[in-house]
Amino acid sequence: MKLSVIIVNYNVEYFLEQCILSVLKASNELDVDIYMVDNASVDGSVKMVQEKFPSVIVVDNKENLGFSKANNQAMRMSQAEYVLLLNPDTVIEEDTLKKCITFMDERPDAGSVGVKMVDGKGIILPESKRGLPTPETAFYKITGLNKLFPNSKRINRYYLGHLSFDDTNEIEILSGAFMFMRKKALDEVGLLDEAYFMYGEDIDLSYRIILGGYKNYYFPETSIIHYKGESTKKGSLNYVFVFYNAMVIFAKKHFSSKNAAIFSRLINIAIWLRASWSILVRFIKKITLPTVDFLVLFGLFLFALQWYGQWQLIDYDKDLTNKVLLGVSAVYISSLFFRGAFRKPWKKWSLFQSCILGFAISLGIYSLMPDTMRFSRAIILLSPLIAGVYLMASRGLLNTISKKRFPFRTDKSTRFGIIGDTAEYTRVTELISQTRTLDSEYIHFDIEKEKEKIEQIDELINVYNLNEIVFCAVNLSSSDIIRLMSLSGNKHIDFKIAPPESLYIIGSNSIDKKGDLFILDVNSISKNENKKKKRTFDLLAGLLLFLLLPILTIMNRSVVQLVKNLCKLVLGSKTLVGYAGKINKPKDLPSLKPCIIPTVKESASIDIIQKMNILYARDYKWRNDLSTLIKNLGNLTV
């Protein structure tokens, strides 16, 4: 066997499928075996691989052993000349394996080789090439000083900033996302150190390969997509602690006692500085806009009161009005928090709801106040108008300044550019239409007839005003997809890949961030808190629908069935939104009461119904139920 490709998986079935597909394409005419080591995933990854890829050797662990132990399991089984450790959230080019094998064959001194990695938007990831994290290098990295001097050989040695991404170079550290290694070197220096659970093991092994007399190389003549680059993880405080504690393990193992002690002290100081700074920055970011809103609203209410007082010739008590208006301002800010109106992208509907809620609470409190404190009901009545105008104007101004930092979530339809043949275009549009809540527009770019047009991808984006581009992997090679992504300089476009014969469309800049067409965050409907939320929503929705009964009787066919459904909804024998299909409880999913509105149209294919049921169960949100209800007010008699 020439090469063993080893993929360690943990609950990323969506990405795993696409990764294996790309490896199989790249393995054509090569002597390659593929190992998939699963660390006790609960998302059906093992079953998917066994059914779709019977040639893949599956190691099904019953507990999460961590990255090092899982990779070592497969490396001990491998009899190949070379071993590739590959993350499941990657896509390799069709020639990646062949080029790496040729590269290693021509260089007997090479112990390992890494390649150019790009993220989901085609941006080169700096961790494609790295230097040894000496105390000085690690300090510059942890404190962020390396960002200020990205091309410095000394200050940005962690990412070898002085070396070009386009040149082959000898480097020190490879990324664990793609480590192509000589098995002979591993037999001499040992496998991954199992003292590392998640981070640092790639640094340790890369360094031991060098100590064993071999060289590590960065080879940019082939590229891979790596959805989860370090740039997407660095903001996490947990990542800071876990990763740099792994650096301490590395220092104690490879540095002298004196240097290790210095390194550990520097690491600990840097960690606490970084953590403290991160907490401070996050806190400032979170309170800045609410504080500004509070002060501006108070100022506007006060100005309106003074103007009204002069108009009506009323002299208000200054201390009393200040206290009351401060309270009213606080009520509106609290309403904004409650409705999630500070979360970006901003929703105009949330801003409107916040104003109505703030007005209702303010009016209620004001009506309960003693007569001596009721100075002007007119200002309370004007407050939602004042707050609404200010909020829309301020958000609109910020959005004009920077659409990326201050985005609005609009209800406009998404314009998809789908690059593929007619059959794939039809399949992809059907999948999108079954999984999106908003209307979508589709523009087909036929790969067989419009190759020259597709090469001008930025022009397509601008001319057709596209929001997202979907590449049909059955028609485009991974190399072409990566190249086209890299050609685009438009940072606002979202790229997605539709693997052949798959119900998943993969996209997003990171596996930590879900795209519009797939869900990775597990927020199971079986959680007690979600059960309570669902029941509370059903009850409130049922009561509200009873109030709207005169209108609903016009919109729905059977009045009797409508009343029965609403009664069952309020009493708890039915749920508003639930699984689609004729069976009440799909296999292996948490049980739900019979539903009034299914998650997807009953006319959809069995595969899509099953997948949508799974997505609904895994990522329950009451807001999704509300959106489904609004769209189906005329379909409540099922």
pLDDT reading at 588 higher than 60: no
pLDDT value, residue 583: 52
pLDDT value, residue 282: 80
> 3-9 and 32-39: which strand pairing?
parallel
Beta-bridge mates of residue 180: 84, 113
Q: How far apart are CA 341 and CA 332, in angstroms?
A: 11
pLDDT reading at 318 higher than 60: yes
* Top-confidence residue, 76 or 202: 76
Q: How far apart are CA 92 and CA 85, in angstroms?
A: 12
pLDDT reading at 520 higher than 60: no
pLDDT reading at 418 higher than 60: yes
The CA angle 118-466-225, to the nearest 5 degrees, is 15
Q: What average pLDDT does the chain have?
A: 83
pLDDT reading at 187 higher than 90: yes
Residue-wise pLDDT tens digits, 140-185: 887 778 888 999 999 999 899 999 999 999 999 999 899 999 999 9
Residue-wise pLDDT tens digits, 116-144: 999 888 889 999 999 988 778 877 887 77
Q: How far apart are CA 27 and CA 37, in angstroms?
A: 19
Q: Give 331: exposed, middle or buried? Use CB within 10 Å, 0-12, 13-18, 19+.
A: buried
**Tokens at 465, concatenated:** 């005003």
Give 437's contacts (C-beta < 8 A, 6+ positions apart): 624, 627, 628, 631
Percent of the chain at pLDDT exceeding 70: 87
* Total residue length of the chain: 638
DSSP annotation of 448: T
Q: Assign 234 a pLDDT band (cuts: 50, 70, 90).
A: very low
578 φ, ψ (degrees, to nearest 5):
-155, -165
Angle in degrees, 0-180, between the axes of helices 348-368 and 377-401, rounded to the nearest 10: 160
497 φ, ψ (degrees, to nearest 5):
-125, 130
CA distances from 53 to 36, 42, 46, 96 (A): 10, 19, 10, 20
Mean pLDDT for the stretch of residues 466-488: 86
Q: Is residue 380 classed as helix, strand or coil in its secondary structure? A: helix
> 90-92 and 215-226: which strand pairing?
antiparallel
pLDDT reading at 54 higher than 90: yes
Q: How far apart are CA 456 and CA 463, in angstroms?
A: 11
pLDDT reading at 503 higher than 70: no
Cβ proximity of 52 and 68 under 8 Å: no
pLDDT reading at 511 higher than 60: no
Mean pLDDT for the stretch of residues 410-423: 79
Residue 530: which H helix or E strand, with range?
helix 528-547
Which domains does the chain carry? 3-129+165-227 (3.90.550.10), 283-408 (no CATH), 411-507 (3.40.50.10700), 528-631 (no CATH)
Residue-wise pLDDT tens digits, 264-306: 777 677 667 777 777 788 889 889 999 999 999 999 999 988 8
Q: How far apart are CA 310 and CA 189, in angstroms?
A: 86
pLDDT value, residue 409: 66
Q: Is residue 535 classed as helix, strand or coil in its secondary structure? A: helix
User: Could you give the residue ranges of the DSSP H alpha helices within 313-415?
Assistant: 318-338, 348-368, 377-401
pLDDT value, residue 82: 97
Cβ proximity of 129 and 158 under 8 Å: no
pLDDT value, residue 523: 45
| Of the candidate ranges 84-98, 222-236, 285-299, 612-626, the one whose mean pLDDT is the lowest | 222-236
Radius of gyration of the chain (CA): 29
**Tokens at 36, concatenated:** 């998939």
Mean pLDDT for the stretch of residues 61-80: 92
Residue whose entry in the numeric block shows the structure tokens 């581009």: 469
Cα-based torsion angle of the residue sequence 65, 68, 69, 73 in order, rounded to the nearest 10 degrees: 130
pLDDT reading at 522 higher than 70: no
pLDDT value, residue 507: 67
Q: Tell me the pTM.
A: 0.61
pLDDT value, residue 240: 61
DSSP string, 4-45: EEEEEESS-HHHHHHHHHHHHHHTTTS-EEEEEEEES-SSSH
**Tokens at 551, concatenated:** 């209108």
For 64-206, strand residue ranges (E) read 82-86, 90-92, 110-118, 169-171, 178-182
Mean pLDDT for the stretch of residues 517-537: 65
pLDDT value, residue 49: 94
Instruction: Please choose, from the candidates 180, 272, 260, the residue with its C-alpha nearest in 3D space to the C-alpha of residue 218.
Output: 180
Residue-wise pLDDT tens digits, 437-469: 456 788 999 988 888 788 888 878 887 888 889
